[in-house]
Amino acid sequence: MKTPELIINSDSFSFTSFFTSEASVSLSEIEFPNELIIGKQAEFLFETLLKLSSRYIILLSNIQIQGRDRTLGELDYLVLDRKTSSTLHIELACKFYLFDASLGDSPEAPWIGPNRKDRLIDKLGKLKKQQFPLLYRKETREQLLPLQIDINSVQQQLCLKAFLFIPKELSKEVFPKNYQSCIYGYWIHSSDFSSEDKDALYRITNKKEWLLPPVNLSEWQHFSEVEKKIKESIGNKKSILIYKKRNTNIQPIFVIWW
């Protein structure tokens, strides 16, 4: 939860951000849910943070809105902010995106998932057109009647925890300030891994370890051992998140197959 929120405020997309730092809670002593998939890990950490906070109360979470014959969608969280006495509708997202300049010129367009299966611009479009408007549907109003919430006074906020990776040759300073704060590491093609530091130690991660602080990882390996495993993963068209450690410095790297 220490990962900065990506603030989205452009001509096409403008959302009010929810900042977990406002909760003023440390999660350092919380046992990390290693067995959960990454989305559920993010939900667990977010909910734990709010529950430990004296400022926020979770009213409802993962609220499925039912239509006559189908589920219309889901609201992530309805939260009471004690400090402002306001009700918040918070949508939570935890995403890993890589920068690919060929995908477009807008601030949101170039960011894509490590296996090219999802894009930031698509996620924001869904939030704008589906998830946030869902709050104002007749079916939602009826379902939330027992809470006696004035839907029109609810403040909608986005908590987008973004881990951004840029090409190794680019400097983070060329990106807008809101994106700079979320740049976590760099990405390289698999063919370029041979140019990495052969004296460093490396740690290959599985997806359930992506949210773990790298200092908590064990079983670091030498360059030659990791190189073999990277080739296997790339052969299966799966990009891979690794950490490179030299002394106390740890560098996140995505090795991509495309």
List, in order, residues 6 or more apart from 161 with CB less than 8 Å away.
Answer: 1, 3, 4, 5, 6, 42, 92, 93, 94, 95
Reported as a pLDDT band with limits 50, 70 and 90, residue 31 is: confident
For range 92-106, the mean pLDDT: 98
For range 82-102, the mean pLDDT: 98
Q: What is the pLDDT of residues 210-243, one digit of tens each?
A: 999 999 899 999 999 999 999 989 989 999 999 9
Nearest Cα neighbor of 242 from 186, 202, 193 is 202
Q: What is the pLDDT of residues 120-156, one digit of tens each?
A: 999 999 999 999 999 999 999 999 999 999 999 999 9
Nearest Cα neighbor of 166 from 156, 152, 154, 181 is 181
Tell me the Cα Rg of the chain: 20
Burial-class residue 215 by CB neighbours within 10 Å (0-12, 13-18, 19+): exposed
- pTM, entire model: 0.95
Residue 92 to residue 75: CA distance in whole angstroms: 10
* Contact present, 63 and 72 (Cβ < 8 Å): no
Structure-token pair, residue 142 = 């009826």
